[in-house]
Amino acid sequence: MIIAVVGCTHGELNLIYSTLEKIEEENGFKVDLLICCGDFECVRYGVDNECLNVPDKYKKEENDFKDYFTGKKKAKVLTIFVGGNHEAMNVLKQLYYGGWVAPNIYFLGYSNVHNINDIRICSLSGIYKKYNFYKKYCECYPYNEISKVSAYHIRKYEIEKLKLIKERIDMVITHDWPNNIEKHGDINDLLRRKFHFQSDVYNNTLGNPHTEILLNKLKPYFWFASHLHVKYSAIYVHADKKNYTRFLALDKAESHKHFIQILNIERKDENMLRLSFDHIPKHISMTTPTGRGHYFNEDYEEVLHNMGNVPRVEVEPLLHKKSVKLKAKQELDDELSARKANRKENHPKMAAENGEPIQSGEKNKKKDPIGVSGDDGNGDDSDINGESGKNNQGYLLNDESGDEINHEELSKFLEKEEEELLEDLSMNEKKRFYLCYDVEWLAILKANHHLISVNSDKDYNMEELKYPTQEDFEFVRKKLNKLEKITLNEKDFFLVHGYNKPNYKNLGEQRHFFLNRFDFEELSIYNEFEFNFFSEEVKRLEALAEGTQCIEDTGNVGSTENAVNVGNINEQSEVCASAEN
């Protein structure tokens, strides 16, 4: 799966998507997933701008996101993002557990775990400030200058939930850096570019100390962040000397900044991810002795190259299987065409398409434009043109004795290969858009959601969180089995709420969809005034999205009669049926 990682977005979606499109055109591949590491700034209209903590000199009346919200433009690639320290908090707060903010654009929530193509992604929004870490979420609309800052500060409750994770995590996405991560890269180069970091580095205060704990516990393969507006990579070798984490931070989205990185990540086996370079054009990958220098971070991989005592993922470029299949099929078709032409000259009664007699055992089948082959991905052409005269499946292709080709057997073989390839291509096309729930994470929520529910009088930051019981897992699986599922590598995955019809104009309804799916109570982080405001806001945003009237930027709030009716959620817009395998 080819992934694009972007640093601080700052509402520059047009720049990001146009850059992606240019990269795809120049290099001949398609990006499957876009990860934005915070400061997304999903400003839909004026009130959102008022809730955004940005200095006045950087504020815009509207940014690029509005066009994607209203439907004038659409994200061509699945885009996921975490919250940073410059966000419209009235928007993200309504999607505490995550949700769609526009078609194909998904907020990952305050803390969460999702599955995409069997890659497990852990996310955490916000930044760390010690003085708010143990406080409850007390900020609400309308925000003042203090509350719209503290609203995006990470709380202990989010960290404690993530600490409960036991199963393998492949990626972590945060906005700020884990503490001390800067010491595992070229820190001298970092300080040359960002000299004002010296005090924080010296005092060990540059990053988040609690995500440093998560780094050591979860041991992910990749960790992506932004916040500090600098591109920086590091290799964090864990204490067991068997695991390491690739850390990558990127600059803000701005012309002539290093704000985007393309990665090709493949699952090598059940417990290993592999960083592939198959997406790099050959003329680029061969520009340096290692084949990496000009396209990928040379310092980022050079450390791995010298880590002889640490088992690591292979990073050398390999010949892609599909390329081999295409080449093998083309050679096979050329060989068959040549032999058919030769046999027609010597045997006039052979098969032809224009009314000529058809030889027994040969099917009148047109050549398929999609290249297929039965090779095993090793790129060995001897399977087709070798001395044995047979391909790797044992079918006769080039018999020097002059005996006839077994066309019936060969046609069956090609038909089977074609069906398998088309099925594979179809699945690949579908997989790249699949954002799915994570079973363990939902079980963790089931075991601990009551602490932050509206009927709880406890301080969720002070309570000891519990790992889910077997009953919690069974409950979650029972709920998930009612939903549409996909199967990848013999595993079942379930699409997130509102996947097919995201109600991005009504964020409260999205939240209630999720809560109702798993029998969770409403969250305690909202007050009645906010519910009334959110309800009135829905009418404004529907008018904005439909273009039926001009939206006035006013802070007036509707009555309680307009509050979101939780009991009358339109379940028809949700995916509730299980798909057949």
* Mean pLDDT rounded to a whole number for the chain: 78
Please tell me the predicted confidence (pLDDT) of residue 413: 60
CA distances from 202 to 26, 63, 350 (A): 43, 38, 83
For the segment 54-63, the average pLDDT, to the nearest whole number, is 85
Which residues share a beta bridge with 396? 390
Assess whether pLDDT exceeds 90 at residue 506. yes
Instruction: Check residue 291 and report its DSSP letter.
Output: S
| High-pLDDT (> 90) share of the chain, % | 59
Q: Compute the distance between CA of residue 205 and CA of residue 199 in angstroms, rounded to an integer.
A: 8
How many CB atoms lie under 10 A from the CB of residue 170? 19
The rounded radius of gyration (Å) of the Cα atoms in the chain is 28
The encoded tokens of residue 235 equal 């290799």
In the chain, CATH 3.60.21.10 sits at 2-318+434-494
pLDDT of res. 277: 62
Residues contacting residue 188 through CB under 8 Å, at least 6 positions apart: none
| Predicted confidence (pLDDT) per residue in 112-141, tens digit | 999 998 999 999 999 999 999 999 999 999
Q: How far is CA 22 from CA 1, 64, 465, in A?
A: 18, 18, 47
Report pLDDT for 52. Answer: 95
**Is the model more confident about 551 or about 249?**
249
- The CATH code of the domain at 2-318+434-494 is 3.60.21.10
Nearby residues of 333 by Cβ (< 8 Å), 6 or more positions away: 367
Burial class of residue 394, CB neighbours in 10 A (0-12, 13-18, 19+): exposed
- Which among 575, 440, 405 has a CA at the least distance from the CA of 495? 575
Q: Which tokens go with 269?
A: 């086996």
Q: How confident is the model at residue 566 (pLDDT cuts 50, 70, 90)?
A: very low
Q: What is the 3-state secondary structure (H, E, C) of 77-146?
A: CEEEECCCCCCEHHHHHHHCCCEEEECCEEECCCEEEEEECCEEEEEECCECCHHHCCCCCCCCCCCCCC
Q: Rounded to whole angstroms, how far apart are CA atoms 65 and 101?
A: 10
First to last CA, the chain: 23
Least Cα distance to 212 among 231, 225, 202, 197 occurs for 225
Q: At what angle do helices 439-448 and 470-480 cross, to 10 degrees?
A: 120
Residue 411 — pLDDT band, cuts 50, 70, 90? Answer: low
pLDDT at 433: 62
Q: Residue 495 and residue 85: Cα distance in Å, rounded?
A: 29
Residue-wise pLDDT tens digits, 24-47: 999 999 999 999 999 999 999 999
- Cβ-contact 488, 118 below 8 angstroms: yes
Assess whether pLDDT exceeds 90 at residue 250. yes
Q: Are 84 and 127 in contact, with CB atoms under 8 Å apart?
A: yes
Alpha-carbon span 3 to 173, nearest angstrom: 13
pLDDT at 101 over 90: yes
Per-residue confidence band for 328, with pLDDT thresholds at 50, 70 and 90: low
**pTM tops 0.75:** no
